[in-house]
A and B are shown apart, each in its own frame.
Chain A
C-alpha cells in the first residue's frame, strides 16, 4: 500500500512580501500554491498511490472566490481518472472559509464530518482512516481523545489538524499530546497545521508534512508532501517529496571583515552565485541579511535603498533570472565606539543623546504628526498576517536606530571622529 500525506495546502494564497522589480521572475511565482498542489497530484499519479490524505487547511481564510474550489474539484477529477481516492479533513482555515459550505466535493473525495470523529474503511486494502474536521475556526479541545478505536488487522491512520504539544508559532487549535496519539493504537498519524515538516515519532509514525509551498519569508526551505509505503508485513517507510515551486531562502552575509560597501557587495555576489547553484533552476525568493561589526556600517546604512538596489542588480546579474530579492536586511553593527559619541559636547553628541532620549520613550515616536498621518493612510488589514505592516513601537524603535545611523553617516561624523 502506498499513499501520500499532505497538509496546509492553503490553495491560492498569494506569496507575501515580493515586490516586483525589473528582472524579477514574476511569471514563476504566479499561482505558486496551485502549481505546488499539482506537483503533489503528479507525484500521486506517477507513484500510483492508493489514496491521498489532506490533513486540513486546504483553503485559506481570506479566500472569497470559488475559483479555488473549482480548481480543487478539477484536480480531484484527475485523481478520480487514476482511481485514487482522497481523504480530507477541514482545518481551522477551512472552517472559516465559505468555500467548503456551498460546493460539493467530487465523489472520490471523502470528507470527514465535523460533528464527530468517524472512520472510512477499505476492505480490499485492509485500511481504516479515522478523522474529524474542524466545525469552527477555533477549536480548543483535544479532538484526538474521541477518535474511534483502531480496527483490528487493519492499517489504521488517524488524520488530525492539531497543534501537537502547543507549538508557539502556531495558533493553539485542537491541541493534543504525543501520549494521546500513541495511546490510540493507530499505525500512522497524518497531522496538519504546523508548516514545517516534522516526524515526531516513528512508532507509530506521527508526521507533520509541513505546507507544500512557502508563502512568505518565514516559511523557508524546501516544502514537501509525505510519500508513505506500507509493505505487506506492515513495515512503514516514509520520505518527503519536494513540492516547492518557489522556495524561500534566507542568506546571511558576514560583513565583519569588509572595509567598505564594495567589499560587502563582492561577498554578496559570491553568496548569490552560490545560491543559484542550489536553486535547481527554480525561481527562488531570497531574504538577505548583512550582519557583523564592520567598517562599512555607516556606508551601508547611509542609504538602504541603494543597498537594496545594488543587491537586486547583483541578483539580476548572476541569478539567471531566478533570484527574487524579497528583503535586504542590513543588521550590521558600527565599528566605532558609540558610547564615546554620547559624551561629546557638540552637535553629534546632541544627535546621539536625542536618539537615546527618544528610545527611552518609544511611545512618543508614534505621536509624531508625520507618523500619525501615515498611520491614517494605511489600510487596516495590512497590519495582519505573517508579515504585518504596522507602525507599532517595535517598528518605530528599529526605524529610530536606523535613523541614527543614517544621520551619523550623512553627517560623516565617523570620519570626523
Chain B
C-alpha cells in the first residue's frame, strides 16, 4: 500500500491542507520541517487515518472534536481508495461526502498492520526516539538481558518480571495486604488478643472471694428464713388449735350431765328393734305352716295305689313297647314268603339260559369252579395277550422282510464317493484369506489413489521437477536448522520492513512539512530564519567591507567591491540587504507564530532527511545481511536443483515433502500386501482344483476366479457330505432290522398259546360246559352263574327271615298270656295287644297317685322343719329383750326406749371429744391434750394473729433477699465456672500459631524467589561484563543514531548505587546521563 495523497482538512493546526505524493523515482518522500511545524501531528494524523482518532488526542485545538477530519487517497497497485476519518467511537470511516463506510475497506489495504505495529515501525517521532534512548540508558533495555536473551533464554525478561511479581505478592515492606505482611499482622493481632484475654491471678482471687462472700450471705439468709418459717408454723398451729380446745372443754361439761345414764352397747337400739321384729315374724309363720300340713295329710288319705300292677310294671311296660313290633311281624310274614318264591324262579330261569338240560340243583356243582373265576378271567386275558403278540410277531416278520429288500435296493442305487475332508480343509483355508478379490481390488484402488495423490503433491511441490526417488534421496538440512533460518529470516524481514516504514514515514514527514511551509509562505514569503540569517550575514559582511574601506581605510573601495562578490555597488547593496533584513524581521515579527512554525518545520525537514540517510545506510546493511543469509541458505540445499525458497516456505516445502514420502511409504506397503494376497489366492485355487478333480466334480474352467472355484467346491463338499450321511443312515437301518429276532418272538408266542389251551379245557369241563367253548362263551357262562348264585342267595336270606318272624310272634303271645293270668285273668279273653294296652293304662294311673302322695309328704316334712327354726328364733328374741332390759335396769319397753336414747347421746359426745383430742395431739405432736390446752391458753388470739402477720411479712422479705442473693451467687458461680472452662486466650494463641504456620512457607517461598531473582540479576551482570564488548560497540553506534546525534554513543560506568550502568554524553550540552 502507498499513500498517494493526504488531506489535512481539520486536524491539529492544519486546515484544508493537502499533501500530494505522486509516484516518483526513487519513490519516496521526505517531509521535513522545523520544530512545531506539524511533522508529529501529521504522523499522528496518518495513524488516526488508518486506525481511528484516539479518544484523548492533542490534535483538537482549531476546531470542535466532531469536526475533526483527515482524509487520504491510498492505493496498492491494483486499486485506489479515497476516504476520510472523523473522531468517534464507531462508524468513523467516511467517504468524500462524509457518508459512512465499512472499516474493512481500509483493513484490506492494511493487511496485518495494527496501530501498535504501525507506531513501532512508522510512528517513531523524535520524542519516542529520545525516550527509547533514555530507557536504554536507564537500564530498562538492559544490555545484560539482551545478551542473555541472545544466548537463547528468550523468556528472561518475563522470568525476571514474574519473579519480581511473585516476590511482591508475598511481601512488601510498606504493604498490609501481601501474604507475609498479612500473616504477620494476624500473628501480632492474635498475640495482642492473647494478652488482652489473659485472666490475671488477682482477678481470679477477687472472683473467688466474691463468690465465697455471696455464698455466705446467701446461706445466712436461708438459715434465718428457715427459723422464721418454723416460728410461723408454730404460731399458726396454736392459732388453729384455739377452736378445738374450746369445743373440747364444752364437751367435757356436757359429758358430766350424762354420768348417771347406763352405758348401753352402741347396737342396743338395733338389737332391740331386731328382736321385736323377729319375734313377731316367727310367731306368724309357725301358725300358717301348721295349717298347710293338716290340709296335705287329708289329701294323702284320699290317694289309691295298685300294688300288683306295681310289681309287674316292668313286664307291662316292656310288652307295651313291643306291641308295635308284634303288629308289624304279623303283617310282614306272608310278604316274605312270596318274595322267596320269586327269587328261586329267577335263579332257575337264568340257569336254563346256559345249562338247558341240567336242573338248578347242579348249580352247586359248578360253584367250586365259579369260585376260581379270577383265574378263569386271567386265562382269558392271557389268551388275548398271546393272540395279540402272535399277530404283532407275524406282522413284524413280514415287514422286516419287505424293509430289508427296500434298503438293499437303495444302497445299490447310492455308491460312496469318498471322504470330502481334504476338500473342506482346502475350502476353509481359502475362506480364511477373506474375500480375496475384493481385498485385491481395494488394495489396487488404494495404491492407484495414493500414486495419484503423490503425483499431485509432487506437482504442487514448488520448484521441484524431479521424480519421487530424487525427492527421497534429496539431502536436506535438519528441521532445527531450517527453524533457525526461519527465525533469522523473519528477523531480517521484519528489520527491512521496519526500515522501509521508517523511510516512508520520514518521506511523509518531509512532504507534510514542505506543504506546511508552502502554506505559511503566503504570509511570510521567504522570511525564514535561515534566509534572515543569510541576509543578515550578507548585510554584516557588506558592512564590514564598508567599514574597512570607508572608516578604517584598510581596504580600497574596489577591493571591497570585489570581495563583496556582488555586481551592484556595495553601498546600495548594503542598504538593500539592510532593508531586506529589516523587512524579513518585520514580517517575522508580524507573523511571529507562523515564523516560528516555519522555522520548526524547516528543522524537522532537516532531521527527517538525516533520518532518511541513516535509514538508507541501515537498509543497505540489512540488504547485505539478507544476501549473506541468502547465500548461506542456498548453501544448505546443495542438491535441491533449484533456487531454494525462503526458509518459511522451505519449512512448509519440507513438510509437504515429508507428506509425499510418507504416502509413498504407505503405497509400497500396500503393494507388498497386494502381492502377498495374490500369491495366497493362487495357492488356494490350485489346491481346490486338485480336490475337485479327485472327486470327479463338474469340470471348471482354467480362468475361473477363486470365488467361483470356492462356490463349486462348497457345493461339491455339501453334496458329498449329504451322500455319506444317507448311506450311513441306510446301513444303520439295515443293522436295526434283525429278522431272526422277530422269528424267534413269533415261535415263542405259539408255544405260549399251546400251554394256555391245556389249562382252558380243564376249566371248561369243570364248569359243566361242552368242549370247545371260547373264552367269550365261558365269560358269558360265568356272568350267568353270578346272576344265578345271587338269586339263590336272596331266596335263602328270605327263608331265614320268615322263620325269625314266626318265632317272634309266638314268644309275644306267650308272655302276654302269663301276665294276664298274674294280674287280671278277666283279660284272658282279649287279644294279646288289647290286653297289654289295658294293663298299661292301669299302671299309669297307679303311678300318678303314688307320685302325688310322695310330693305332699315331702312338703309336710319341710314345713315342719321351718316351724322348728321359727320356734328357735322366738326363743332367741325373747332372750335378747330380756338381756337389754337387764342392762338398762328397766322392766318395760317404754323405759328401755328412753334409756337407749340417753345412752346414745352420751356416746356421741364422748366420741366427738376423743376425735378432737386425737386430732390436736396429732397436729401438735404433743403427748397429751393438757399441754396443748395450756399452750393455747398462754396465747391470746388477737396477739397471736398480730404475731403471725408480722412474721409473714418478715418471711416474705427474707425470701426476696434469699432469692436475690441466690441469683447473685448463681451468677458469680456461672462466671467462675465459665472462667474455669474458658479457653479464649488459648484459642487466640492457637490462632497466632496458625498465622506463623502461614508465615513459615511464605517466607521460605519469598527467600527462594528473592534469591533466585538476585542470582539471576548478578548472573546477567557477570555475563554482561564478560561479553558486552562487541555488543556495546554496536549498541553505541545505534544509540548515537537513535538520539539523532545528540549523544555520542555508549560506554559503561557505575551509577549511584555502584551498579553498572550505561553512560552517554550529550554533544550539545556536554552533560552525561546514566
Residues of A that sit less than 8 Å from B by CB: 12-20, 29-31, 34, 64-71, 73-74, 98-99, 101-103, 304-305, 308, 326-327, 346-347, 350-351, 353-355, 358, 365, 368, 370-371, 373-374, 376-379, 381-382, 387, 389, 391, 395-396, 399-400, 402-404, 406-407, 410-411, 416
Contact = CB atoms under 8 A, between A and B. Distances in A.
Contacts of B1016: 351, 407
Contacts of B188: 379
A389 B1003 contact: yes
Residues of B contacting A: mostly = helix
Contacts of B173: 373-374, 376-377
Given A15-B993, A74-B980, A411 B197 contact: no
Nearest to A324: B997
A64 B987 contact: no
Nearest to B159: A410
B1006 A16 contact: no
Residues of A contacting B: mostly = helix
A404 B1005 CA distance: 13
Interface residues of B, number: 67
A64 B985 CA distance: 9
Contacts of A365: 1011
A351 B983 contact: no
Contacts of B1019: 347, 350-351, 353-354
Contact of B199 (A14, A66, A389): A66
Contact of A368 (B151, B986, B989, B1014): B1014
A102 B205 contact: yes
28 contacts: A12-B986, A18-B997, A31-B983, A64-B985, A66-B201, A70-B204, A71-B980, A71-B981, A71-B983, A74-B980, A304-B1005, A304-B1008, A305-B1001, A346-B151, A347-B151, A353-B1019, A370-B1010, A371-B1007, A371-B1010, A374-B171, A376-B173, A378-B1003, A379-B184, A381-B191, A391-B1007, A399-B1007, A399-B1011, A406-B1009
Interface in B977-1032: 977, 979-987, 989-990, 992-1001, 1003-1012, 1014-1016, 1018-1020, 1022-1023
A416 B151 CA distance: 12
Contacts of A304: 1001, 1004-1005, 1008
B1023 A406 contact: no
A287 B358 CA distance: 130
Interface string B184-202: 1001100100110111111
B180 A377 contact: yes
B159 A16 contact: no
Contact of A15 (B181, B204, B990): B990
A348 B1015 CA distance: 11
Contacts of B1009: 403, 406
Contacts of A31: 983, 986-987
A403 B1008 contact: yes
| For the complex of A and B, 10 pairs with smallest distance between CB atoms | A102-B201, A19-B997, A399-B1007, A65-B198, A65-B985, A403-B1012, A403-B1011, A14-B990, A14-B993, A74-B980
A121 to B, nearest CB: 31
A109 B171 CA distance: 50
A19 B151 contact: no
Interface in B187-246: 187-188, 191, 194-195, 197-205
Contact of B1011 (A327, A379, A381, A396): A396
Given A374-B1003, A382-B187, 16 more contacts: A14-B993, A19-B998, A20-B997, A30-B983, A68-B986, A98-B201, A103-B201, A103-B204, A347-B148, A370-B1014, A377-B173, A377-B180, A389-B999, A400-B1015, A402-B1008, A407-B1015
Nearest to B190: A14
Contacts of A308: 1001
A410 B1012 CA distance: 10
Given A346-B151, A379-B188, A389-B996, A351 B986 contact: no
B502 interface: no
Contacts of B1022: 350, 353-354
Contacts of B995: 19
B144 to A, nearest CB: 10
A327 to B, nearest CB: 8
B1010 to A, nearest CB: 5
Interface in B519-551: none
Given A67-B979, A102-B202, A407-B1016, A374 B1006 contact: yes
Contact of B194 (A64, A326, A400): A64
A406 B997 contact: no
B108 interface: no
